[in-house]
Chain A
Amino acid sequence: MNSATTTTTKSRALRRFALHATSTCATQAEAYGKCILATYTDVRKDACKEEFAKFGACLRESVRLPRK
């Protein structure tokens, strides 16, 4: 079992990630969601690759810790 500290750090990192995925990058997330919504009866790998690339880029940009 994880020690208490690792669990907290882990959950805090995930919470920060969740915040970015749902609010910071909400526009990109919505665009990706719309793309899936349009094709969800026939989804295949990378069907919405472009939309996700933008979403992912935004996430990676915002998750990065601010440099001092």
Chain B
Amino acid sequence: MHRRIPLSLSRVRTFASHSPSPPSGPNTVGPYQVFDRHAKVLQRDRSATRDGGARSRTTDYVRDEVADRMIERLLDIKRKFNTILDLGSGPGHFSKLLDAEVTNKAVLLESSEKLLHRDPDSEFEVEVERIHADEERLLDVVEPNSQEAIVSCLSLHWINDLPGVLVQIKEALKPDGVFIGAMFGGDTLFELRTSLQLAELEREGGISPHVSPMTDTRDVSNLLGRAGFTLLTVDIDEVRVAYPSMFELMEDLQDMGESNAIVGRRNFIHRDTLAAASAIYKALHGNEDGSVPATFQIIWMIGWKPAPTQPKPLERGSAKKSMKDVL
């Protein structure tokens, strides 16, 4: 006879070396677990509390720069919003830049509670609401067809189920609602990735993942299309930062809460390998003044939820004139 196993017992036991990641939500499909979301929340919580948040604030520079570029894109939309949902907001890098001419209210949604409450409401110009929830389970906290605009400023790169989250974003939007996103693309930190790989290969004879796999521009357009967005705009941009050495870069990444969180990662890098990677980083990528560069590639995406009032391309094959006659 078929017996129902209680849910708590049926959960697969994980090895002690992996911290357990909760299974993906019921709204999502394709449970590819690349990132350890549980570890990521812990890392981000710790980053927000280190030195009372001071360390986290000094390493805001990448996110602040991208938030600044993002607000320009939002201002291109000549519309006043009642609320804007900031998905994976962190302490609100983007929402701090919003003013009363654009929106009445900003809703911050973030999975790290400490980071969400890092900065007081007085730093925002508009009314703020904070929701502590998992970005991967957006529809659990946000009603479908309820949002006028959803933005995501550098949070989607830790999402396991990117297609699922994009579908949820589209569902959460009202018809003719807009989604603007910025996420780290495949060339991000390629210097660090290659240096660590070369160092591990030469010193230890094998490699393990230290820098996350990241999405490609082409994939993003396909995913947006598949999620049902229309009028897509996807482009790329770069932020390059110079550091004294690889060690400062790694320290800053940790303070940003951007440490490695790949499932099954090695939490340990041998000191020899670390020293070797630093030497390789400088030899392969170093600037002339002795500093080392780090590239952050940003993929921008804008998509609209379809609505009958929007301009649309005509049906395929519905043309009345042949292109041959025109040319």
- Chain A residues with CB under 8 Å of chain B are 1, 11, 14-15, 17-18, 21-22, 29-30, 32-34, 36-37, 40, 43-48, 52, 55-56, 59
In the assembled complex, which residues on chain A have CB atoms less than 8 Å from the CB atom of B201? 43-45
The SS class assigned to the A binding surface is: helix
CA–CA, A44 to B283, complex, Å? 18
Q: How large is the interface on B (under 10, 10 to 19, 20 to 34, 35 or more residues)?
A: 20 to 34
B244 touches A22 (CB 8 A): yes
In the assembled complex, which residues on chain A have CB atoms less than 8 Å from the CB atom of B204? 45
Asked, given contacts A21-B278, A29-B278, A47-B202, whether A56 binds B247 with beta carbons under 8 Å apart, the answer is: no
A52 touches B247 (CB 8 A): no
Shortest distance from the beta carbon of A2 to any chain B beta carbon, whole Å: 9
B218 close to chain A: CB less than 8 A: no
In the assembled complex, which residues on chain B have CB atoms less than 8 Å from the CB atom of A21? 245, 247, 274-275, 278-279
B198 close to chain A: CB less than 8 A: yes
What are the 6 tightest A-B residue pairs by CB atom distance, in nearest-first order? Answer: A33-B283, A18-B247, A45-B205, A29-B279, A33-B279, A21-B275
The SS class assigned to the B binding surface is: helix
Q: Taking each of A15, A17, A22, A45, which has the highest tally of chain B beta carbons within 10 Å of its own beta carbon?
A: A22
A32 touches B271 (CB 8 A): no
Shortest distance from the beta carbon of A11 to any chain B beta carbon, whole Å: 8
Asked, given contacts A33-B283, A36-B284, A52-B272, whether A22 binds B278 with beta carbons under 8 Å apart, the answer is: yes
Cβ 8 A contact of A30, one of B276, B283, B284: B283
Cβ 8 A contact of B279, one of A14, A15, A43, A55: A55
Quick one: CB contact mask for B267-292 with A, threshold 8 Å, 1 for yes?
00001101110111011100000000
A29 touches B275 (CB 8 A): yes
In the assembled complex, which residues on chain B have CB atoms less than 8 Å from the CB atom of A32? 276, 279-280, 283
B247 touches A22 (CB 8 A): yes
Asked, given contacts A43-B198, A55-B275, A56-B272, whether A29 binds B203 with beta carbons under 8 Å apart, the answer is: no
CA–CA, A55 to B278, complex, Å? 12
CA–CA, A32 to B195, complex, Å? 13
Q: Taking each of B247, B248, B272, B279, which has the highest tally of chain A beta carbons within 10 Å of its own beta carbon?
A: B279
B46 close to chain A: CB less than 8 A: yes
Asked, given contacts A14-B247, A21-B247, A40-B284, whether A52 binds B276 with beta carbons under 8 Å apart, the answer is: yes
Cβ 8 A contact of B271, one of A17, A36, A37, A40: A17
A36 touches B275 (CB 8 A): no
Give the residue name and chain of the B residue nearest to A28 (CB). B279
Quick one: CB contact mask for B185-201 with A, threshold 8 Å, 1 for yes?
00000000000001001
In the assembled complex, which residues on chain B have CB atoms less than 8 Å from the CB atom of A45? 201-205
B46 touches A1 (CB 8 A): yes
Q: Taking each of B245, B274, B283, which has the highest tally of chain A beta carbons within 10 Å of its own beta carbon?
A: B283
